[in-house]
Each structure stands twice: as structure tokens, then as C-alpha cells.
Amino acid sequence: MRLVCSFFFFLIYSCTTAFAQQQSYVDAKELTLIGKAQPIPSFYHRVDTARYSGMPLAVKKLFTNAAGLAIVFKTNSPVISAKWQTTDTAAPSNMTAIASMGLDLYIKRDGKWVFAGVGRPKGNNTVANLVSNMDGTEKECLLYLPLYDEVLNLQIGVAPGSHIEPLQNPFKGKIVIYGSSILQGASASRPGMAYPARLSRKYGLNFINLGVSGNGKMEKEVADMVADIDGDAFVLDCAPNPSPEQITERTAYLVKTIRQKHPQAPIVMIPSVVREGGNFDLKIKERVANQNKNFKTEYEKLKAQGIKDLYFIEGNLLGTDHEASVDGIHPNDLGFDRMLQVIEPPLMKILSKVKGL
Amino acid sequence: MRLVCSFFFFLIYSCTTAFAQQQSYVDAKELTLIGKAQPIPSFYHRVDTARYSGMPLAVKKLFTNAAGLAIVFKTNSPVISAKWQTTDTAAPSNMTAIASMGLDLYIKRDGKWVFAGVGRPKGNNTVANLVSNMDGTEKECLLYLPLYDEVLNLQIGVAPGSHIEPLQNPFKGKIVIYGSSILQGASASRPGMAYPARLSRKYGLNFINLGVSGNGKMEKEVADMVADIDGDAFVLDCAPNPSPEQITERTAYLVKTIRQKHPQAPIVMIPSVVREGGNFDLKIKERVANQNKNFKTEYEKLKAQGIKDLYFIEGNLLGTDHEASVDGIHPNDLGFDRMLQVIEPPLMKILSKVKGL
């Protein structure tokens, strides 16, 4: 009703289903999936929840969300389409449907990954063009999957007569980031705008997104799983979720377990973004201050205990104008951009010293 | 299902309905509505579509959306709640429900409007707390209404025993901006992040949002309506919607009609943002280039014809990294921020010369 006819909507909406259905489709499982912590049986899950069955139910469910996963391929097709199916959940009120259950395509140009188009979900079962009217040269493609939903099925379509082939993982190393909804991608505007994805494209590194919305609480079973991953570095962006008391109780176990299994890997701690909901809500303000105070105290205790290569990145993560959140809790794209301006320089300096990255 | 229990969601979700229903409510019509071009009978409509009945149907429908409208009031309540009803439309896939059909609250602190909280829609009929746990001092409040929906009913709740009263319009003058979906607010993350709203808060000026998604096409009937408004200045951000040919056909009539009725008012033309969907889609790329070329040509012709106080603001509105859109068409909050970095300095310089602003 609202999206009345205009050239752009004609171009993008009305063409999309009819035209997309005429493409030749290949199951994405025949292409290359990247962004997973470890090779596991469930293709579109981030973590093997059967192997780590002791993790809390909510955490296990969230690890079925495809945040940070992407399909890479090459094609000479002038049109790229997709058919994809997600679960029957709807987009949360603080996210776009494109981000939570849609697709986000990038194409390599002059050595850089450049935005090409999105897959706009129409409910949980969509057929749509991602990009059209391209020249017919061979292109390397990177397609991010939904941040807040499980992918049940995905097929990539190209024009009949064009070819599509798997591409080798263009990103090297493995930097594991464990954290909250903010890490999972709330509230980036599209899947590729989650901050680990932005870092991967910019630096050609594998950032592994282990964000679990509202549930990055450092439980022992989750800490054991994180430490099992063969990461080159570990980033802990989990301060927003546990209570201040849980932070005091649980941080040391997580850090020490990672350190025990990875004697050389840098471990980087990031405090919670300011919660703009705490500008006037005194309880929220107090809670976030205590979370960050306790996280910093744990860092200092661990350093004093001799844990090497442990870092704490501080700074004003969302700026000073209070405009960088969608809802007082989660950064919008402006917030993520400001967050990267603070954490990116020290983080990349730390990672530059890791052999092989 | 996905929003499993955590402290924050407990704080914000589970308290919200039960608690919000215990407040004392006042109809927002008893408070002060701002952001309207003219006083008209339909309280939550932007334009009197009965008076301008010759406008295209799609345009008339879009002017029932509450983009840019806000309620201002003062209260000493530690909690502010809302009950609001919108139509049966859902959020578009490129917008959050908070932006399209939710609420966005700011409170004045040290002379500045500071974000306080949002109203998260639960369908089209919601009761929710916007902010809680505040100190009980008197506060000036500014509540933005949904960008992409019509408000059918709105009540503001305060704690029993607290008072709530209308506040005088805190913004002065009237700067009319006519344009596309981008102006209407797609895809800001929340209603107050639409760019005219950001300018109003920052400069204390009344920016009037006449964005009509996909339909800012400068039809004669719409041009006549725009020119009828007693604006101190007029900004034309409508290049994204008409075809390149329509831009050539229609721009002069719009500018001259405004100039005829407002001999002194600055008229500021803004070209279309780059469409990131045109990074690889050659048709989109060509279309946008032609829209902007023709808009600039019309500007130059009008200047050559002696139209005074006509301006054209140019620049790289979305930056160079191609990350500033939600969908290749509409800016995300990062895109709006970059857009303001380009247009704000020259626009505010132009407005600073207008008597009374």
C-alpha cells in the first residue's frame, strides 16, 4: 500500500520476483561458506550445539542464527538472485528485516569489497534479485547471511548461460569475537554492517562473530567452547550482558581458559558501549557503569596475576551527541562507525603482531 | 522466542506493559503538536489533503504519515509512557519498526535536546514505557511520531500524582523541505534521526518535513501546495524521485511558483544522494547521474533567468566507502550523518541571513 509505484520501486520490486524466478539456481552449499568458528555438521549454524550441549538453551538457539556467516563465489552473470528461507520469526522492532533476515552482497573491485545489493525479505521465504544490469565480466562475490535468523535453505541464481563457482575464502586467520547483541549485529542496517564484517572486508581477516543477543554472559560451558576454537586472537565484547556481579564471578575463568589453550594469542577486552537509555534512567546508567568498572577491575587483576598479551581497549565508543543508538541500547550504523573509530586502531595494532595475520 | 530473558530485556520489555498501564494518561491532542506546515483540521496529518485534493492519491496518502511531527510537553514524572495506535501497515524491510511506526523521546538538558528513550511498537496498538527511573525534576520533553505511518491515536502517560502540561513550540521560524523517502526518514533508525529532525534539535529551528516516499515528483498541484506555505526558506531535496525528464519539465515551475509567493525566501536545491545500488547496476548509475545533471542544469537556467537567492548544495553526500546506505537506495544513520556534514554548513550559512531565524 505504502510503497506506491515509482521508478526505483518498479526497478527493484516488481521486476524482482518474476525475473529472479527465471535464473539458474545453485544450492549455496555447493559454494564456499565462511565465517564459521569451526567446521561442523550443521551447515548454517555458527557453533556445534550438539557437541556443546551443556550451554544454556538460549545460547544454543542463538548460535543457529547466521550472524557473520557468508557465501563466497565467482560468477560472470549480469544478474545475481537468491531464494532463501528463514524461520518463522519476525524482525525485532529495533532492526530492519534486511539486517535480521535478509542478505547483503559485496563484489570485489580494485582489490576492495564494494556494496552491490541486498536481499529484501518478503516474509520467511523469498525469491529476489540482489543486483541486476551488471556488465558480464567475472566477479568475486561475498554474500552475508541474516544476522538474527537461522537460514534453512539458500540458493543463488545466475542468468542462464552464466557460470557460478565456489571462491576460496578470501579472508585469512581467525579472530574470535565473543559478545552480546551488539556484536551479533543489533542494530546494523544490513548484515554486512555488523562490525566484525566491516573489519573482515577492510583488512582481509576472518573475524568470527560469536555474538549472542542478550546472552553473552560468559557461562563456564560457553567459555570452554570459545577456548576450544583454534583462534589467532580472542576479543571479548561481552560486558553488556552479564550483571556486574556475574562479570566479577566469570571473567577470570573465561580469560584463563582461553590463555591455557592458546598461550600466545592476544586476548582483547572491550567495555560496554554507553547505554543511551541511561541518559535519564538512573538505574540503567548505574548498571552500565558497574559493568564496565567490574570488567576493568577483572582485567587489572588478571594482568597483576601475570596474564600476558591481555589488552583492554577504552574510549568513548558512541561519541558525545547521544544520537548513535537505535533504541538507547544498541548502536545504529553511526554508532558502529564511531565504535570502530575507537577500537580499530588499537585492535589492528595488536593483531599486526600476530604471526600469520 | 529470540528475545530471551536478560536484565535489559526484563527492564525494558516485561516491566513496560504492566507498568505503563498504571500511568495517568492524557490525550496528546491536549499537548502541543509541532512540525506541521500549516494548522489544518486533521491533527496528525502533515498537509490538508482535502484542501489540496488535486494532488496525486499516493502523495495525499503519504502526507497522512506523521514524519517530522512531534509532541512537546513538560512533566515532573519519573516515568513517561505512551499508548499509540497506527494503521495496519507493517514496517518496510529497509526500516526498523521503531522508525516507521514507533516513538522517539528527547528531554532538554543544559539547553540541549538529549535522547531519552523510544516507543517500541508491538503491532499497531501499543502501550509502553518510553523512559523510567528518572529523578522527579521538571523536564521539557519532545516526542517524535512515526515516520512512515499515520497516527490514529496517541496518549501520554505519567506517574499518578505527577503533572503534564503543554510546552510552547521550542523551535522558531519555518524551513520547508520537500522531497523523497530519504527526507521522509528512510532509513533513519528512529524517528528523531530523520535529518530535518536532527537539524531542528541542533539549531532550534522548525524544519518542516514534506518527504513523500517515492513520490517527491514536483507535480504542479504539489508545487502549488508547497508554495502556499508561509515558509522562511524552502529546501528542495526531491531529485531522487522524478525521472531525469520530469526534472527538466517540472523544476522551473516549482522554483518560480515558490519565488512568486515568497520573493525573499532562500530556495536551496540538493541533488540526489548517490545510489549505492548503482555501484554495479549500470542502469541505476546512469539514471542517478542524469537526475543530478538535469537538476543542476535547471538550477543554472533559473539563475541565468535572474532568480535570486537560489542555491545548489553539492558534495559527496554519502562518503566514499559505499557503506552508508541500508539497501543501496536509502541512507542509514551513517549516511545521514555524512549528508549533514556536507549540507549543514552551507545550509545554515544561508539560513543565518534570513531575518528572524
pLDDT at B21: 74
pLDDT at A356: 86
Residue B327 and residue B277 in contact, taking contact as beta carbons nearer than 8 Å: yes
Q: How far is B207 from chain A (nearest CA, A)?
A: 18
Q: What is the pLDDT of residues A265-292, one digit of tens each?
A: 999 999 999 999 999 999 999 999 999 9
Does B110 touch chain A if contact means CB atoms closer than 8 Å?
no
Cis amide prior to A187 (ω within 30 degrees): yes
Which residues in A lie closer than 8 A to residue B94 (C-beta atoms)?
A: 96-98, 118, 120, 189
Compute the CA torsion angle A181, A184, A189, A192 (nearest 10 deg). 170
Instruction: Quote the CA–CA distance of B102 and B147 in Å, as a whole number.
Output: 8
Q: What distances in angstroms separate CA B302 from CA B171, B233, B248, B255, B259, one per listed residue?
A: 32, 17, 12, 8, 11
Question: Closest Cα to residue B195, out of B328, B341, B295?
Answer: B341
Which residues in B lie closer than 8 A to residue A327 (C-beta atoms)?
A: 98, 118, 120, 189-190
Q: What is the pLDDT of residues B54-91, one digit of tens each?
A: 999 999 999 999 999 999 999 999 999 999 999 988 99
Q: Check the CA dihedral B337-B343-B346-B347 and report its sign.
A: negative
pLDDT at B221: 98
Residue showing cell 502540561? B165
Q: Which residues of chain A have pLDDT under 70?
A: 1-18
Does A355 touch chain B if contact means CB atoms closer than 8 Å?
no
pLDDT at A17: 60
pLDDT at A22: 85
Which residues in B lie closer than 8 A to residue A105 (C-beta atoms)?
A: none
Q: Return the SS3 of A259.
A: helix
Does A243 touch chain B if contact means CB atoms closer than 8 Å?
yes
| Mutation choice for A interface testing from B280, B283, B320 by most A CBs within 10 A | B280
Interface contact A96-B93, CB threshold 8 A: yes
Q: To which H or E segment does residue A58 belong?
A: helix A57-62
Instruction: Quote the CA–CA distance of A342 and B3 in Å, as a whole number.
Output: 29
For strands A172-179 and A233-237, give the pairing.
parallel
Q: How far is B150 from chain A (nearest CA, A)?
A: 11
R_g of chain A, CA atoms, integer Å: 20
Instruction: Quote the CA–CA distance of B265 and B257 in Å, as a whole number.
Output: 12
Interface contact A6-B332, CB threshold 8 A: no
Instruction: Quote the CA–CA distance of A224 and B43 in Å, as a whole number.
Output: 58
Which residues in B lie closer than 8 A to residue A329 (C-beta atoms)?
A: 8, 12
Instruction: Quote the CA–CA distance of B42 and A328 in Å, as a whole number.
Output: 32
A61, A189, A328 member nearest B115 (Cβ): A328
CA angle B335, B337, B341 (to 5 degrees): 115
Share of chain B above pLDDT 70, in %: 95
Q: To which H or E segment does residue A295 belong?
A: helix A282-304
Q: What is the mean pLDDT of residues B171-195?
A: 98
Does A117 touch chain B if contact means CB atoms closer than 8 Å?
yes
Q: Indicate the pLDDT class of residue B22, thresholds 50, 70 and 90.
A: confident
CB interface of B with A, residues 72-101, below 8 Å: 89, 91-98
Share of chain B above pLDDT 90, in %: 92
A 10 A CB-CB count for B300 gives 11
Residue A247 and residue A291 in contact, taking contact as beta carbons nearer than 8 Å: yes
pLDDT at A21: 73
Residue B16 scores a pLDDT above 70: no
Q: Return the SS3 of A170.
A: coil
Residue A239 and residue A215 in contact, taking contact as beta carbons nearer than 8 Å: no
Q: Indicate the pLDDT class of residue B94, thresholds 50, 70 and 90.
A: very high
Q: What is the pLDDT of residues A163-215, one digit of tens each?
A: 999 999 999 999 999 999 999 999 999 999 999 999 999 999 999 999 999 99
Interface contact A279-B121, CB threshold 8 A: no
Instruction: Quote the CA–CA distance of A28 and A146 in Å, as a whole number.
Output: 14
HSE (CB half, 13 Å, CA atoms) of A304? 6
Phi, psi of A251 (to 5 degrees): -60, -45
| Mutation choice for B interface testing from A96, A110, A134, A201 by most B CBs within 10 A | A96
Residue B267 scores a pLDDT above 90: yes
Q: How far is B168 from chain A (nearest CA, A)?
A: 22
- Domains contained in chain B, CATH given: 16-166 (2.60.120.260), 172-352 (3.40.50.1110)
ipTM value, please give it: 0.94
* Paired strand residues for B156: B26, B82
Instruction: Quote the CA–CA distance of B54 and B73 in Å, as a whole number.
Output: 35
Nearest C-alpha in A relative to B180: A6
Which residues in B lie closer than 8 A to residue A215 (C-beta atoms)?
A: 4, 6
Instruction: Quote the CA–CA distance of B282 and A133 in Å, as a whole number.
Output: 6
Which residues in A lie closer than 8 A to residue B129 (C-beta atoms)?
A: none
Does B187 touch chain A if contact means CB atoms closer than 8 Å?
yes
Does A320 touch chain B if contact means CB atoms closer than 8 Å?
no
The whole-chain average pLDDT of chain B stands at 94
Q: What is the pLDDT of residues B100-137, one digit of tens each?
A: 999 999 999 999 999 999 999 999 999 999 999 999 99
| Mutation choice for A interface testing from B281, B285, B287, B338 by most A CBs within 10 A | B281
Q: What distances in angstroms separate CA B344 from CA A322, B58, B198, B202, B340, one per listed residue?
A: 19, 30, 11, 11, 5
Q: What is the pLDDT of residues B176-186, one digit of tens each?
A: 999 999 999 99
